[in-house]
């Protein structure tokens, strides 16, 4: 006959125990109470239990079923970590948080219903649950923490409520069966490694307020054929779309200012990059650029040409970092030494500042030389020279002449382009 062990909340239960009776007046299962009980296959908790402390059932590798009483309000970290035989569990409706590592590496867990009052899914909460195929998050959940579903290789669908405001890094890393996901409109950043290795993900629409795609966010999404970048996007960080071998076309939105190195590394079928016509500045970080590295440079050159050529074809011109800072007076953008900057003169030359000033007058006042970029501004929007500055009321040639670093060639070229600018200032001969 199997030996029965009575647990009173204090006594130590041997790791070979298979039959455990929990005292009926207990309110809490203490930390590591049944941890490493490798032969324990089932257990019933009394209705008096309200709290299960961390590691309580961790590494109970034979535990396949457990009935939790409705009185439970808190299940702490690592509670069922590596319960590799646990195939199903009903969580009481009073639970408000799935703590970190709670069900981590529960390989046999195929489905679970998240209670309606849950507001957060903790770090690594379901990581490594390789049999979990579907999950529905209740409408009160606002946070999905780091790597919450990492390595859930059978997870094909997940319902994310509009209440979600944050999905942290690696949340769905390695979910190789995830084929579709709808992100709520409140998401503003796609964190690092969020969808890394989601090999079945073929398409995704990013929420309209996303501003940053962080490093490795979609790397190794080998089935991803299309992605719509929202108009709010400003930065694509390093390796973001690494090895997205099915991605064939991408459109860069007008708000984009920076693409970090190797962002599209080994995207061997990426043959079309569309640049939004209102895009003004683009910063390419690191010497090799964002599309590839040395071991694949020939392939990318054959299909796209150098990245600089892509931008040149669309009215972009490389400019120095110093010039960028002059044109973007007051900008807080920090550049590395080897960052490369491109400007779309056609758009920039007509875009007024908050004060209503045209770039021609701002650049003239900043003593930007004719050969350094002022000529491009005027060539792109020649009509500007016939206006006066909205703030100072001065002509462009006058603004070019008042700075500490004023350049005579620049002043001459401005007057040469529009000699009439001198008329109000030329003394008329006396009769």
Q: What proportion of the chain, given as a percentage, has pLDDT over 70?
A: 89
Average pLDDT of span 334-344: 76
pLDDT of residue 289: 53
Query: Under a CB-based contact definition with an 8 Å cutoff, are residues 235 and 211 in contact?
Result: yes
Residue with more model confidence, 83 or 159: 83
Bridge-based pairing of strands 258-259 and 281-284 is parallel
Give mean pLDDT, residues 211-225: 96
| Separation of alpha carbons 49 and 29, rounded Å | 7
- In the prediction, which pLDDT does 273 show? 77
403-420: burial string, b at 16+ Cβ within 10 Å, e else: eeeebeebbebbbebbee
* Banded model confidence at residue 430, pLDDT cuts 50, 70, 90: low
pLDDT averaged over every residue in the chain: 85
Res 80 pLDDT > 70 = yes
pTM of the model: 0.78
Model pLDDT for residues 227-270, shown as the tens digit of each residue: 989 999 999 998 999 999 999 888 888 888 888 878 888 888 88
Question: How confident is the model at residue 14, as a pLDDT?
Answer: 87
Least confident of 127-141, 335-349, 417-431: 417-431
Q: What is the model's pLDDT at position 346?
A: 81
DSSP for 255-289 reads T--EE-TTTTTT-TT--EEEEPTT--EEEE-STT-
Q: What is the CATH number of domain 1-87?
A: 3.80.10.10
Measure the CA–CA gap between 27 and 47, rounded to whole angstroms.
9
Average pLDDT of the residues in 211-215: 96
pLDDT in tens, 367-386: 888 888 888 888 888 888 88
pLDDT at 183 over 50: yes
| Gap between the Cα atoms of 264 and 260, Å rounded | 9
Q: What would the mean pLDDT of 34-46 be, rounded to a whole number?
A: 91
d(CA 324, CA 238): 22
pLDDT at residue 330 in the model: 60
Domain segments of the chain: what residues? Answer: 1-87, 359-425
Q: How far apart are CA 364 and CA 366, in angstroms?
A: 5
C-alpha radius of gyration, the chain, whole number: 31
pLDDT attached to residue 429: 55
Phi and psi torsions of 283, nearest 5°: -115, 125
pLDDT band, very low/low/confident/very high, at 292 (cuts 50, 70, 90): very low
| Closest of 63, 158, 159 to residue 107, by C-alpha | 63
Percentage of residues in the chain having pLDDT higher than 90 = 43
The dihedral sign for the CA sequence 416, 420, 425, 431: positive
């Amino acid at each position: 006959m199997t030996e029965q062990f009575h647990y009173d909340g204090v006594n130590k239960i041997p790791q070979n125990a298979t039959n455990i009776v929990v005292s009926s007046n207990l309110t809490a299962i203490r930390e590591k109470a049944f941890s490493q009980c490798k032969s324990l296959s089932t257990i019933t908790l009394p209705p008096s239990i309200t709290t299960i402390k961390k590691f309580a059932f961790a590494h109970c590798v034979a535990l396949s079923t457990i009935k939790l009483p409705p009185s439970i309000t808190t299940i702490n970290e690592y509670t069922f970590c590596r319960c590799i035989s646990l195939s199903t569990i009903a969580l009481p409706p009073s639970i408000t948080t799935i703590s970190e590592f709670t069900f981590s590496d529960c390989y046999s867990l195929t489905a679970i219903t998240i209670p309606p009052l849950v507001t957060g899914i903790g770090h690594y909460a379901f990581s490594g649950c390789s049999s979990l195929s579907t999950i529905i998050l209740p409408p009160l959940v606002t946070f999905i923490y780091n790597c919450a579903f990492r390595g859930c290789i059978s997870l094909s669908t997940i319902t994310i409520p509009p209440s979600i405001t944050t999905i942290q890094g690696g949340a769905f890393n390695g979910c190789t069966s995830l084929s579709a996901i709808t992100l709520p409109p409140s998401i503003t950043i796609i964190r690092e490694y969020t969808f890394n290795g989601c090999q079945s993900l073929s398409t995704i629409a990013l929420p309209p307020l996303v501003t940053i795609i962080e490093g490795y966010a979609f790397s190794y999404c080998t089935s991803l054929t299309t992605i719509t970048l929202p108009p709010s996007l400003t930065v694509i960080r390093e390796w973001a779309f690494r090895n997205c071998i099915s991605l064939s076309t991408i459109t860069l939105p007008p708000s984009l200012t920076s693409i970090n190195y190797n962002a599209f590394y080994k995207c061997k079928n990426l043959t079309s990059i569309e640049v939004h016509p209102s895009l003004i500045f683009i910063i390419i970080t690191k010497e090799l650029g964002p599309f590839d590295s040395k071991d694949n440079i020939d392939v990318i050159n054959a299909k796209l040409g150098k990245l600089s050529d892509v931008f040149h074809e669309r009215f972009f011109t490389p400019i120095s970092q110093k010039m960028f800072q002059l044109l973007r007076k007051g900008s807080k953008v920090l550049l590395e030494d080897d960052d490369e900057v491109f400007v779309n003169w056609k758009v920039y030359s007509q875009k007024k500042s908050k004060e209503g000033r045209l770039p021609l007058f701002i650049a003239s006042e900043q003593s930007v030389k004719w050969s350094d970029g002022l000529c491009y501004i005027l060539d792109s929007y020649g009509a500007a020279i016939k206006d006066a500055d909205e703030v100072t009321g001065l002509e462009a040639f006058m603004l070019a002449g008042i700075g500490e670093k004023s350049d005579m060639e620049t002043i001459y070229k401005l007057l040469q382009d529009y000699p009439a600018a001198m008329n109000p200032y030329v003394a008329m001969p006396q009769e």
